[in-house]
Amino acid sequence: MGLDIRYQAFIEEAGEAAERIRELISEGRFFSVFCHNDADGLSSGAIASVMLLREGARFSTRAVRGIEEILDSLPKLPEDSAIIITDMGSGYLSELRGAVGGRPLIILDHHEPVGEPDESWIHVNPHNHGIEGANEVSGAGVTYFVARALNESNRSYSPIAVVGALGDLQDKSDGRSLHGLNSLIVEDAVKLGLLEVSDDLLLYGRSYRPLHIALASTTSPFIPGISGSESRAVGFLSSLGIKFKEDDRWRVLAELSEEEKKQLYNGLMKYLASLGLPPSIAKELVGKVYELRMEEKWTYLRDAREFASLLNACGKTGKEWLGISVAMGARGETLEEAQRTLEEYRVRLAQAMDYVMREENRQELRHIVAIDGGDVIDERMISSVASIISSSNLLGEDKPLIAMASGDDMVKVSARASKKLVEMGLDLGEVMSRAAQAVGGRGGGHNIAAGAEIPKAKKALFLLEVDRIVGEELGGKV
Ligand SMILES: [Mn+2]
């Protein structure tokens, strides 16, 4: 079977980007690489860094929170430096035109393009070829195809591109497996013996981590009350009568009989239902396991989804460099610090989730559900909390979620909507922008996920405004 013609065109585009990069390297240019600070972004930054390192190029890599940081720093860069932006940029083509000046620019992204790129730029994006960027390839995947075209030996980074895709939840729409261009990357990794794919319950570290720890460390989907707490995971397994110890040895998920696995799965379904949560969350617990075969067991890098959690934790705690280094291949003390970062982050995330899942911390208006993390939830964590709630569907899909956390004198807002609401005409980016403006803040984003920053004193007013605009956009359909 031949390769899909759209894939061929995309891979050709990646090849052109590689040729341009080779040219710029031979001109002796210095490269400034930018990437987003989430798991996919850090994976992208790592692949781009390795790619340049291997060719002996001079470069620096920087992870940023948003496009503003890039737009601010571009004009300050030397006139002759080359710019590579990974996992972001496509959504801001006209803004970039003003900031980049005459510098060579290469954008490796999977977000939907807005505006037109300059003719001199290289713009690699699946959307250029009718390929869905939301779930067929990640920023790390796009960067990987370019790196692979530049040097065959970069195929060894295929597992990092898989990590990036899983970090962006690209397995969500397809029974928790990767598809599209992502499956070509998985193929590369499997062929090289770097990755093993199997079907199972998706608990982190299924083949090597003690069952109760595997259960407690699983956060995608998030199981309220169990995710983040080993003692409660032990209690839960005992209540199901599942043996988690054999003699003096902890059992692992892979050792459970089919019968026991079924028992565990049904127990989780019942548990979720007892919390009033849709049993559909449990479906998220079954699918493809992506195991990085060359990584040590007992590290958080062995399971690709957990690797992504580790990168995400580094990014959300201001330790982006740590995540990029680990993704590039650093181990030893660097890995230990990254693992500690993930452990601390998990505990804090579980506390934050405990807090927001308590009913008294929730406010239901006519068209929205609001959660106020106040000073309890770190403002840098609020978007992760909002993503977990919406991707695990913890509060239903009928009203958008507005999550808030207090910074110094501003309140950080993170909003999420279900696909269903977006199909009904909701555009959260617009809602956030308008409502924030009305109270002297600023906001924006995508139709399905958006955010804002507003003055602390205007919180109540802001919520009313959001509620009103959401009602207006949905035209009384809710
Ligand atoms: Mn991405």
pLDDT tens readout for residues 457-476: 999 999 999 999 999 999 86
Q: Which residues contact 125 (CB under 8 A, 6 or more apart)?
A: 90, 107, 109, 110, 111, 113, 133, 142
Q: Please give the pLDDT value at position 476.
A: 63
- 391 C-alpha to ligand 1 centroid (Å): 16
- 349 C-alpha to ligand 1 centroid (Å): 21
Residues 431, 463 within the same domain? yes
- 178 C-alpha to ligand 1 centroid (Å): 14
- 383 C-alpha to ligand 1 centroid (Å): 15
- 40 C-alpha to ligand 1 centroid (Å): 5
Residues 171, 89 within the same domain? yes
Among 354, 387, 407, identify where a domain stops.
Answer: 354
Both tokens of residue 297?
């067991």
pLDDT beyond 60 at 169: yes
- Least trusted range by pLDDT, from 43-57, 101-115, 187-201, 262-276: 262-276
Q: How much is the average pLDDT of 172-199?
A: 94
- 81 C-alpha to ligand 1 centroid (Å): 25
Cβ atoms of 105 and 85 closer than 8 Å: yes
Residues 397, 461 within the same domain? yes
Confidence of residue 478 (pLDDT cuts 50, 70, 90): very low
Q: Residue 205: which of 140, 168, 250, 245 has the closest Cα?
A: 250
pLDDT beyond 80 at 184: yes
Is 438 strand, coil or helix?
Answer: helix
Return the axis-axis angle of helices 333-357 and 382-391, rounded to nearest 10°.
Answer: 70
Backbone φ and ψ of 273, nearest 5°: -65, -35
- 138 C-alpha to ligand 1 centroid (Å): 5
Among 146, 178, 194, identify where a domain stops.
Answer: 194
Q: Has residue 77 been placed in a domain? A: yes
- 365 C-alpha to ligand 1 centroid (Å): 32
- 358 C-alpha to ligand 1 centroid (Å): 31
Return the axis-axis angle of helices 320-328 and 333-357, rounded to nearest 10°.
Answer: 130
- 254 C-alpha to ligand 1 centroid (Å): 31
- 340 C-alpha to ligand 1 centroid (Å): 24
Q: How much is the average pLDDT of 203-223?
A: 90
Q: Which residues hold their Cβ within 5 A of ligand 1, which is an ion?
A: 40, 87, 139, 168
- 164 C-alpha to ligand 1 centroid (Å): 7
Residues 165, 119 within the same domain? yes
Cβ atoms of 26 and 300 closer than 8 Å: no
- 87 C-alpha to ligand 1 centroid (Å): 5
Backbone φ and ψ of 400, nearest 5°: -65, 150
- 110 C-alpha to ligand 1 centroid (Å): 7
- 253 C-alpha to ligand 1 centroid (Å): 30
Q: Residue 107: which of 140, 78, 83, 133 has the closest Cα?
A: 83
- 44 C-alpha to ligand 1 centroid (Å): 8
Q: How many domains does the chain have?
A: 3
- Least trusted range by pLDDT, from 119-133, 221-235, 328-342: 221-235
Confidence of residue 356 (pLDDT cuts 50, 70, 90): confident
Residues 186, 218 within the same domain? no
Q: How much is the average pLDDT of 407-415?
A: 90
- 137 C-alpha to ligand 1 centroid (Å): 9
Residues 135, 240 within the same domain? no
Amino acid at 138: S
- 135 C-alpha to ligand 1 centroid (Å): 10
Q: Residue 155: which of 197, 190, 199, 206 has the closest Cα?
A: 190
- 165 C-alpha to ligand 1 centroid (Å): 7
Q: Has residue 478 been placed in a domain? A: no
Percent of the residues in the chain that have a pLDDT greater than 90, as a whole number:
75
Both tokens of residue 41?
């972004």
- 17 C-alpha to ligand 1 centroid (Å): 19
Confidence of residue 82 (pLDDT cuts 50, 70, 90): very high
Lateral strand order in the sheet of 30-36: 58-64, 30-36, 82-86, 105-108, 122-124
Residues 184, 37 within the same domain? yes
391 versus 13: which is more confidently predicted? 13
Q: How much is the average pLDDT of 42-54?
A: 98
- 39 C-alpha to ligand 1 centroid (Å): 8
- Chain mean pLDDT for the chain: 93
pTM of the model: 0.90
Among 336, 354, 372, identify where a domain stops.
Answer: 354
Confidence of residue 477 (pLDDT cuts 50, 70, 90): low
- 248 C-alpha to ligand 1 centroid (Å): 43
Residues 174, 102 within the same domain? yes
Confidence of residue 367 (pLDDT cuts 50, 70, 90): very high
- 260 C-alpha to ligand 1 centroid (Å): 37
- Least trusted range by pLDDT, from 154-168, 230-244, 272-286, 298-312: 272-286
Residues 424, 312 within the same domain? no
Residues 172, 27 within the same domain? yes
Q: How much is the average pLDDT of 279-299?
A: 89
- 142 C-alpha to ligand 1 centroid (Å): 10
Q: Please give the pLDDT value at position 456.
A: 93
Is 56 strand, coil or helix?
Answer: coil
- 10 C-alpha to ligand 1 centroid (Å): 17
Q: Which residues contact 307 (CB under 8 A, 6 or more apart)?
A: 163, 292, 295, 300, 301
- 360 C-alpha to ligand 1 centroid (Å): 34
Residues 137, 257 within the same domain? no
- 350 C-alpha to ligand 1 centroid (Å): 24
- 196 C-alpha to ligand 1 centroid (Å): 23
- Domain of 263 in residue numbering reads as 199-354
CATH for 50: 3.90.1640.30
Both tokens of residue 342?
């993930």
Cβ atoms of 399 and 478 closer than 8 Å: yes
pLDDT beyond 60 at 1: no
- 170 C-alpha to ligand 1 centroid (Å): 9
Residues 311, 177 within the same domain? no
- 262 C-alpha to ligand 1 centroid (Å): 34
- 108 C-alpha to ligand 1 centroid (Å): 10
- 270 C-alpha to ligand 1 centroid (Å): 34
